[in-house]
Amino acid sequence: MRAADGTFTDPLDAPNAGTTALEGTASFSINDSGLIAGTYADDNEELHGFLLTPSAIPQTATPTFNPAAGTYTSAQSVTISDTTSGATIYYTTDGTTPTTDSPVYSSPIPVNSTETIEAIAAASGFSNSAVASATYTINLSPDYQVSVNPTTLTIVAGQSGTATFTVTPENGFDSQVSFACSGLPAEATCSFNPTSVTPSDGNPATSMLTVTTTAASSALRGLRPSSAHPIYAFLFPGLAMVFGIGWRRRGAQRGLQVFGVVVLLVLASGLISCSSSSGNPGTPTGTSTVSVAASTSGSGAISHSATLTITITK
C-alpha cells in the first residue's frame, strides 16, 4: 500500500493469493495516495485484479482561497486556509503541481498580474489533500503617477525657481495630461514647459515647472511743481500777494489773510497727494506649500498631484 508520505508496503497478501507465479501481489499501477491497483494468482494460476482503498487514513481537507478565483480590475492579496487542524499548506505559482517540497504558505500572496495559484495541505495522521487551484485574471485600469523634483525651492523675491514635474504611466496609460498650480503666495505665478505631455510606450514624460516671484518696489516721485504741476507756479505768487496785502492792511483785510492761509494748506496737501503713490509690496517672505496638479480631460478624467514647498527670502 502507498502511505500518505508516498512510501510503499510490499508485499500485500490478498485473499487466496498463491505462492507460485507472482507469489503474492505485484502492483501494476498506482492511483492517488492511499489507493493501489494490483493483481494476484490463485492456486489454480488464475489471475485476479483488485483495488484497495484504506479507510483508516483520513484525507486532509482541500485548501480554499480568498478572494475566490476570478477577474479583477485591481491587484489582489490572496490568503489560503485549511480546515484540518495543524495542516501545513504548500503552494506554487509557476504552473507546477505543489508537493510537500514546495514553498510553505505563511502570509498573503500578492497578485499584481494574471496568475494561477495551486495548493495542497498535509497534516500528521492524514493523507495529503487534493490539489486546489485558483486563477486570478487582473485587468488593471490605465493610470499614472506624478512626482516633482526637487520637492523644495528657496527663491529670492523677484527671482524664479525651477523643478521637474514627471508623469509616469501605468497599465498602458497614453492620454494627454495637463498641469496647474494652487497655493502659491501672493505676487507669484507658475508656468509649465510644455503645458501638457502625453506619455507613450510606457515611458515617463516630463515638464519644466517655473515659479516666478515679484520683488518689492516703491513709486514715490517727490514734489515737482514746476513741471508736473505748473498751475502751482501761478498760485504761489498769487498767495504771496494775498499775504502782502494782508500785511499792509492788517485791520481791513484780516478775513482775506485767513482765506489765503486756508487755500495754501489745501494746495500743499493736494501737491503732496498727487505727486506720490504707494509701491508694490512684492511676494511676501515665508514658506508656502504648493499643490502641483496633473489631470486628463473628458469623461473619466484622472487627477493626481504632488506637493512643492517654496520658501521666499529677501
How confident is the model over 86-110, as pLDDT tens digits? Answer: 999 999 999 999 999 999 999 999 9
Q: Is the peptide bond before 185 cis (omega within 30 degrees of 0)?
A: no
Band the pLDDT of 279: cuts 50, 70, 90: confident
Model pLDDT, residue 11: 55
Mean pLDDT of the chain: 80
Collapsing DSSP states into helix, strand and coil, what is residue 170?
strand
Model pLDDT, residue 18: 53
Domain 143-215+283-313: state its class.
Answer: mainly beta
pTM as predicted: 0.52
CATH (one of 3.40.630, 1.10.287, 1.20.120, 2.60.40) for 64-138 = 2.60.40
Model pLDDT, residue 42: 75
Count CA within 13 A, CB hemisphere, residue 272. Answer: 5
Asked if domains 64-138 and 143-215+283-313 share a fold, the reply is yes
Model pLDDT, residue 227: 47
**CB-based contact 35:52 (threshold 8 Å):** yes
Model pLDDT, residue 28: 46
How confident is the model over 21-73, as pLDDT tens digits? Answer: 444 444 444 455 555 566 767 778 887 766 655 556 889 999 999 999 999 99
**CB-based contact 310:161 (threshold 8 Å):** yes
How confident is the model over 230-255, as pLDDT tens digits? Answer: 554 455 555 555 455 444 555 555 55
What does the H/E/C string look like for 82-136? CCCCCCEEEEECCCCCCCCCCCECCCCEEECCCEEEEEEEECCCCECCCCEEEEE
Ranges of each domain in the chain? 64-138, 143-215+283-313, 231-274
Rounded to an integer, the average pLDDT of 273-294 is 82
CA angle at 212 for the pair 177 and 184, rounded to the nearest 5°: 70
More confident residue, 11 or 288: 288
Rounded to an integer, the average pLDDT of 168-188 is 94
Rounded to an integer, the average pLDDT of 74-82 is 96
